[in-house]
Amino acid sequence: MRRVLISVFVCFLAICSLTQYLFAAELKLGVNAPRGELNAKKRWSELAKYLSGQLGQTVTLIPLHPSKVVSSTMEREVDFILSHAAHTINLQERHGSTPIATINGNHGPWFAGVIIAKKGSGIRTAEDLRGKKVMSMKFRAAAGAYMFQTYHLLKKGIDPHKDFGSIQWVEKQDDLVLAIKLGLIDAGFIRTGMLESMEKEGRIKMADFVVVDERQGDEMSLVHTTDLYPEWYFSIMSNVSKDTAAKVKAALVAITDTMPAAQAARVRGFVDPLPLDEMRGLLKTLNLPPYKTL
């Protein structure tokens, strides 16, 4: 009887250990998906695969609609988040997350906003947008497709919510570009790299568009309208151990541009997190979370 009890106890411990291992075996990487789930998986699945190998644990990719990035942490749906600076600040202020790396894109660790119009529309400067039909991302959490452009225009004395003829909303930036191509709207807000990517995909010709207030002579070679802001951040949620966080950061900064994780994502790798001060100022000016007041 004693041997039976010992055997049962040993089996119980083994089951507990296995359950604990399986529970710890999966980590979830949430990634902002402004161009949809399929595009996000195409870009970031190799990164999840790479981190799985480096950590010895399964890292599962979870594409998130831009409106769900911050709320996903409240439900403990993810352990890591890859998204833009505004989301990063919200997560840091509200949920105690820690940004550990910034994407080093093919054009550096920066990105910007672009205001585009159809060639021949007569729209070339911010002033030309007064009274026009303009389209932006539906969710104001879109940094490169709403925040940057709105801040740029406000500094020029133009309020998109008062001075445009109308402002319309769209779920995906791809649809916005195509709407301008078809002449359905006058102008729109997108992030840097969108026009170049869609031309490479054979869906548009950049020559058919005008970049409003086009900026040149800075560190960004992609067409753009606004100032430059830090690229997306990789953040660790507060429930992740310090040991795991250290391993993840080491793995991220070790990525080179020849590795599948970088090539699939079209980036060079990751660098130490850049300062967020300028982005905090933008959020306060636009009265957006986490600094929104009544």
- Is the pTM higher than 0.85? no
Q: What is the pLDDT of residues 130-152, one digit of tens each?
A: 999 999 987 777 899 999 999 99
Instruction: Give the mean pLDDT of the chain.
Output: 91
Contact residues for 4 (Cβ-Cβ < 8 A; gap 6+): none
- The pLDDT value recorded for residue 125 is 98
**Average pLDDT, integer, range 168-192:** 95
Q: Is 219 helix (H, G, I), strand (E, B) or coil?
A: coil
CATH code: domain 111-211 is 3.40.190.10
What is the token pair recorded at 105? 């894109």
- The pLDDT value recorded for residue 177 is 97
> 293: exposed, middle or buried (C-beta count within 10 Å: 0-12, 13-18, 19+)?
exposed
- The pLDDT value recorded for residue 19 is 46
281 band by pLDDT with thresholds 50, 70 and 90: very high
Tell how strand 113-118 and strand 233-236 pair up. Answer: unpaired
CATH code: domain 2-109+231-285 is 3.40.190.10
Please give the distance of CA 242 from its chain centroid, rounded to a whole number.
Answer: 24
Provide the percentage of residues in the chain whose pLDDT is more than 90. Answer: 79
Contact between 189 and 135 under an 8 Å Cβ cutoff? The reply is yes
Q: Is 242 helix (H, G, I), strand (E, B) or coil?
A: helix
Q: What is the pLDDT of residues 249-280, one digit of tens each?
A: 999 999 999 999 999 999 999 999 999 999 99
Q: Do 2-109+231-285 and 111-211 show the same overall fold?
A: yes
What is the token pair recorded at 206? 């950049």
Q: Is the model more confident about 187 or about 70? A: 187
Other beta carbons within 10 Å of 158: 16
Instruction: Indicate the angle between helix axes 148-155 and 277-285, nearest 10 degrees.
Output: 70
- The pLDDT value recorded for residue 90 is 93
CA 286, CA 281: separation in Å to the nearest integer? Answer: 9
Residue 167 forms beta bridges with which residues? 134
Contact between 111 and 144 under an 8 Å Cβ cutoff? The reply is yes
170, pLDDT greater than 60? yes
Q: What is the pLDDT of residues 85-122, one digit of tens each?
A: 999 999 999 899 999 999 999 989 999 999 999 999 99
- The pLDDT value recorded for residue 8 is 47
195, pLDDT greater than 80? yes
Asked which of 15-19, 87-91, 157-161, 274-278 is least confident by mean pLDDT, the reply is: 15-19
CA 13, CA 87: separation in Å to the nearest integer? Answer: 42
Q: H or E stretch including 161?
A: helix 160-163
144 DSSP 8-state letter = I
Residue ranges of domains in the chain: 2-109+231-285, 111-211
1 band by pLDDT with thresholds 50, 70 and 90: low
41, pLDDT greater than 70? yes
CA 209, CA 120: separation in Å to the nearest integer? Answer: 8
9, pLDDT greater than 90? no
